[in-house]
Amino acid sequence: MAPLSQQSGIRPDVPAADRSERLRSWNPADFPVPIGREEEWRFTPMSQLRDLLTEDASAVVGSGSVSVEVKAPSDVKVERVAHQGAQHDSRLGTVGVPAERVAALAFSATATATVLTVPQDTQLTEPIVVRAHGNGSAGADFGHVLLQVEALASAVVVLDHVGSATYADNLEIRVGDQGHLTVVSLLDWDVDAVHLSAHHIEVGRDARVVHVVVSLGGEVIRTTPEVTFAGPGGDIELLGLFFTDPNQHHEHRIFVDHSEPNCRSNVNYKGALIGEGAHSVWIGDVLIRAGAVGTETYEINRNLLLSDGPRADSVPNLEIETGDVASAGHASVTGRLDGDQLFYLMARGIPELEARRLVVTGFFAELRDRIGVAFVTERLTAALETELQRATSS
């Protein structure tokens, strides 16, 4: 790719710690209605958030337009628990507490939460699929999923999002000691969907988590994965792929809070953008606290601009509070399709559109192959094919 902007290395001066010191609450009334100037919201198109910014949060009830269906192997415990205000199930809200108003609103306004438990020592051979289906974007709806992978268990979970909706939800993930989890959020919404999703992930001692966000559809999609470690030796990979079309907003705000020794985090997000009004945002905040000795961390965001018009904001922040880090780095590259790569392929007789398809598919291939969930890989390959068909025929 031909870079237009590039940065890499360590910048210890940026206050990622601000994120860890933010106000946290389950009560939306504790947060003023954001106007878009707040650090948290400065890239988000506030005017498109519809009822998610309602003034009187106490009156908000979910529209019921989003139905959630769970398909899980029999060894998984699936519970639907009542969840409203003070009467919520005591397990909810134990992984992460909302740090902004919309997530707090989702927490307080969700009527029924889904709790999925993969019992200790259980190795699932089939993925769990949680399918959120939106039946219309009028009125806001809310959701909450708690996913518990107990010690020594291993699981693959796909959160599939389709249809049309105005939606905000919290996803809490707790992976126990030596647990293994691959979790994929596939955001394949219709073009008019708005979805703000707060992910709270706790990685247990020596646990290993692969967290993937695939943003394809929607009008405004914003996912905010926050990672904490419950013990030493944890390992998380945060992978992201997005294909941002004209007038689409895809935002990913990542916060990895290293507080335990000898943990590893690796963030790798890749996006392709095309057309007027296509906007992607990637914020990668990594904080390495004083006690997190022996931390290994690397984060990178690469964006491919397939035409004039798109805007890709990419902001890596790395703050290190200990002198004993194993390795830490970040990079951000935004550029156009590489003319020499296209020339090389075309000089072998391959027509331009097909050459572009090959180069863009190749750009995503590394990440696609790392997801390692057949169901997702197939959907992704098909979705990319459709996106590229549309992108190259316009």
Q: Using CB under 8 A, pick the residue from 151, 230, 350, 383 that binds other proteins.
A: 350
- Piece of the chain touching other proteins by CB under 8 A; list 61-69, 215-223, 342-350, 379-387: 342-350
Question: Which is nearest to 227 in space by CA: 251, 202, 196?
Answer: 202
Nearer to other proteins, 302 or 379 (CB): 302
In the structure encoding, which two tokens stand for residue 168, read together? 């905000």
E strand intervals along 289-352 = 295-305, 311-320, 325-336
CA–CA separation, 303 vs 1, rounded Å? 9
Closest distance to other proteins from the beta carbon of 370 (Å): 12
In the structure encoding, which two tokens stand for residue 313, read together? 């904001």
Is residue 359 part of the contact set for other proteins (CB under 8 A)? yes
| Near other proteins in 279-338, by CB under 8 A | 338
Is residue 372 part of the contact set for other proteins (CB under 8 A)? no
In the structure encoding, which two tokens stand for residue 138, read together? 């009028």
Closest distance to other proteins from the beta carbon of 387 (Å): 16
* Cα end-to-end distance, the chain, whole Å: 22
Nearer to other proteins, 97 or 358 (CB): 358
- Piece of the chain touching other proteins by CB under 8 A; list 27-35, 164-172, 284-292, 339-347: 339-347
Distances (CA, A) of 191 to 158, 161, 217, 247, 268: 21, 12, 6, 10, 25
The number of beta carbons lying within 10 Å of the beta carbon of residue 87 is 7
Closest distance to other proteins from the beta carbon of 241 (Å): 12
Closest distance to other proteins from the beta carbon of 3 (Å): 14
298 bridge partner residues:
266, 329
Is residue 345 part of the contact set for other proteins (CB under 8 A)? yes
Q: How far is CA 346 from the centre of its chain?
A: 36
Question: Which is nearest to 345 in space by CA: 334, 356, 333, 361?
Answer: 356
Q: Are 264 and 235 in contact (CB under 8 A)?
A: yes
Is residue 365 part of the contact set for other proteins (CB under 8 A)? yes
CB contact set of 127 (below 8 Å; sequence gap of 6+): 155, 156, 157, 158, 373, 375
Closest distance to other proteins from the beta carbon of 278 (Å): 22
- Piece of the chain touching other proteins by CB under 8 A; list 21-29, 44-52, 88-96, 357-365: 357-365
Closest distance to other proteins from the beta carbon of 342 (Å): 8
User: What's the full length of the chain, in residues?
Assistant: 394
Nearer to other proteins, 5 or 84 (CB): 5
Closest distance to other proteins from the beta carbon of 344 (Å): 4
Q: Using CB under 8 A, pick the residue from 324, 366, 378, 385 that binds other proteins.
A: 366
- Piece of the chain touching other proteins by CB under 8 A; list 134-142, 145-153, 240-248, 355-363: 355-363
User: What residues make contact with other proteins under the rule CB under 8 A?
Assistant: 338-341, 343-352, 354-355, 358-359, 361-366
